[in-house]
Chains A and B, each alone.
Chain A
Amino acid sequence: MKYEETEIRVRFNEVDSWGVVWHGHYIAWFEAGRMALLRKFQLQPQDFAQMGYIAPVVDLKCSYKEPARLDEEIIIRTTVLKPTKAALTFQFEVLRKRDRKLLATGEETQVLQALDGRLLYYIPPDLKKRLQNLFNYLEVPGFPA
């Protein structure tokens, strides 16, 4: 399983009065990592919408190991777990670039809804094809035949 790496730098507005990155910003970093990955495979929210779907987040967790500080360079590592149902689970690692120290880990799960609000219990073939490209890129076993 491979990770996609996305780099950012800690901004002034992300640091709290204790001088460390406020915990909520890590969730936005996960989003940045996820979008950088999904952009490569035309799987961004607007691409989903064009196909007639949305993919709401239904579960999210983050574990904090070490604080990130102002102006530090950060690497967000993003991958996807092997799918076992009609949902996508992304995993994240946040590293400090200079020593590759692990600062946080996270996981986020999205389900698939049609634009009329129906929760889809199976991933439709048009979307499966694009997702398979993503799994191949990350060397993740894809959908069962």
Chain B
Amino acid sequence: MAEDLVLELKKLIINTLKLEEIGPGDIQDDAPLFGDGLGLDSIDALELVVALEKTYNVFIPDSEVGKKVFRSVNALADFVKANRA
């Protein structure tokens, strides 16, 4: 079940950010999403926050929380599991 959520989140990231040249298999479960890992930026974070709220009804207020939640897809999955409505 947890693995399904990880895959689901990878697809959500790819679709939301229109990462056309990347497949779910290219995103490592433990790699950072911002900076050195997938290399996402602040606008990407804002887009993802909207998509996560729409899809899972989870609320990430700012980058202080975001830097923990977006540490990796695994961290994001843990956050969604703990907070989804």
Contacts and interface: CB of A to CB of B under 8 A. Distances in A.
> Which DSSP category, helix, strand, loop or mixed, fits chain B's interface?
helix
A121 B63 contact: yes
Interface stretch (A44-52, A79-87, A95-103): A79-87
Using C-beta atoms within 8 Å of the partner chain, give the interface range for chain A: 10 to 19
9 contacts: A58-B41, A87-B43, A111-B46, A114-B62, A119-B45, A120-B62, A121-B45, A121-B60, A121-B61
A85 B42 CA distance: 11
B22 interface: no
Contacts of B46: 85-87, 111, 121
Nearest to B46: A85
Contacts of A114: 62
Interface string B10-46: 0000000000000000000000000000000111011
